[in-house]
Amino acid sequence: MALTRIGLAGLAVMGQNLALNIADKGFPISVYNRTTSKVDETVARAKAEGDLPLYGFHDPKSFVQSIQKPRVIIMLVKAGAAVDQTIETLSGHLEEGDCIIDGGNEWYENTERREKAMAARGLLYLGMGVSGGEEGARRGPSMMPGGSFEAYKNIEDILLKVAAQVPDSGPCVTYIGKGGSGNFVKMVHNGIEYGDMQLIAEAYDVLRSVGKLSNAELHQVFSEWNKGELLSFLVEITADIFGIKDDKGDGYLVDKVLDKTGMKGTGKWTVQQAADLSVAAPTIAASLDARFLSGLKEERVESAKVFSSAGLAGTLSGAGGHPPVVDKEKLVDDVRQALYASKICSYAQGMNLIRAKSLEKGWDLKLGELARIWKGGCIIRAIFLDRIKQAYDRNPELSSLLVDPEFAKEIVDRQAAWRRVITLAVNAGVGTPGMSASLAYFDTYRRESLPANLVQAQRDYFGAHTYERTDMPGAFHTEWFKIAKQSHL
């Protein structure tokens, strides 16, 4: 056989689908997996899906040697030790100028470490975030490659064809920047995704628990929302979920799904990075906390009994012990506005985090371009991203999406509805941690003066940390304790 254009190692769901996508776009591809049955399965799929130019190999040497030089190999294996093992397996057969691309959700510093180690051996390296799940991988994902620019140029023609294609804005891929920037951007993308999913879940909870909407009504509401400003992949699939009946019993499947949310770690990394960089990301942090609390199912069941016996039911009654009277149509419109305003805050936090890291590392990341490549293929794809791209096109140095004139107006127009939803939820005993965190973020960010003056005075009182004054320059320390003691005498 003739040499193939590219190789892919790691044939779990994402790897298989991306390999088939590459072959589907006319690029002959070699595939390899340590478990050989996965290789045979992928080859069989390629034959069944149109006799695609995909070739399977059971040993690393013949796999590597089947690829044209300079060789490019994408790895899609579990982050961490498995990546190092796969690199070790493959690199022994690679030659100077060949390239390895890690397409997994890897910690960005691991990518930077590996890029240096590969460079010492004359090899090129990229860390490439891939978003879109299995369907995206097969039909067109959003891809975020960072690291060696030379390596990116070697594969650019393939990535431009394989990525999701969005009319008027092009393929959902771009060279992100140096080092681990591609992995970092994908990590924050996932953090924003956590926030998005939590906010949608809260909208559902308020409509279901307070508004008493049925699944059929929720299906209709989310379908309608997906035709307007909230048009997005996550709102679309949420509408679908509400319409699916249980195939193993009565009713709707969503009601039978256990309320415990899993996670892979990227959301936690995002919150940790926000703390390290002193960037406020309360909506994303609240979504992470919500997942932690969801994991305490047994404790929550016991807690519900304790507080129910104390007179607190799951959803509280309104005045006089009667359920609150809610105008469903008005509530649906208010929740739509609250969800949109909360999303602006969540995306603003994610973008601020990317910008802070870019400044720290000298990556020179283009925030508007990131919004563009997230418009298709990825999990957070939404019409809303067009607005974000335009905001950064208007002002590349924008300090926050909240102060972009258009977004600022949209938040002002929606803030009354936003407050009504959170007040209603609080009074009904329904937690809305994401929406509440977003509103508190907005309310804090828009205030010229905060009570931080008291916190700083406290710090100086007990720890002599000093403080600045509003009326004169310099650092000051006051012996608060002595003064207070004297005044008590």
Known binding site: residues? 10-15, 33-35, 77-79, 105, 131-133, 189-190, 194, 264, 291, 459, 465
Instruction: Please indicate whether residue 248 or residue 315 has the higher confidence score (pLDDT).
Output: 248
Confidence of residue 133 (pLDDT cuts 50, 70, 90): confident
- Classify burial at 248, counting beta carbons within 10 Å of its beta carbon; exposed 0-12, middle 13-18, buried 19 or more: exposed
pTM over the 0.95 mark:
no
**C-alpha radius of gyration, the chain, whole number:** 26
Report the distance separating Cα 141 and Cα 81, nearest Å: 25
Please give the class, per CATH, of domain 186-446.
Answer: mainly alpha
List Cα–Cα distances, 42 to 8, 12, 29, 334, 442, in angstroms: 11, 10, 11, 48, 49
DSSP codes of every residue in 164-191: -EETTTEESB---BSTTHHHHHHHHHHH
Structure token pair of residue 180:
């681990």
The domains of the chain are located at: 6-175, 186-446, 451-487
Report the distance separating Cα 189 and Cα 457, nearest Å: 38
Structure token pair of residue 427:
């009074």
Please give the class, per CATH, of domain 451-487.
Answer: mainly alpha
Confidence of residue 320 (pLDDT cuts 50, 70, 90): very low
Q: Does residue 393 have a pLDDT over 60?
A: yes
Q: Does residue 255 have a pLDDT over 90?
A: yes
Which of 106, 193, 343, 375 is labelled catalytic?
193
CATH number of 6-175: 3.40.50.720
Structure token pair of residue 27:
């690029």
Report the distance separating Cα 136 and Cα 372, nearest Å: 16
Structure token pair of residue 293:
């609390």
**Taking a C-beta distance cutoff of 8 angstroms, is the pair 176, 417 a contact?**
no
Q: Is-catalytic flag, 193?
A: yes
Question: How much is the pLDDT for 312?
Answer: 76
Q: Is-catalytic flag, 153?
A: no
Which of 186, 343, 357, 375 is labelled catalytic?
186
Known binding site for NADP(+): residues? 10-15, 33-35, 77-79, 105
403-455: pLDDT as tens digits: 999 999 999 999 999 999 999 999 999 999 999 999 999 999 999 999 999 99
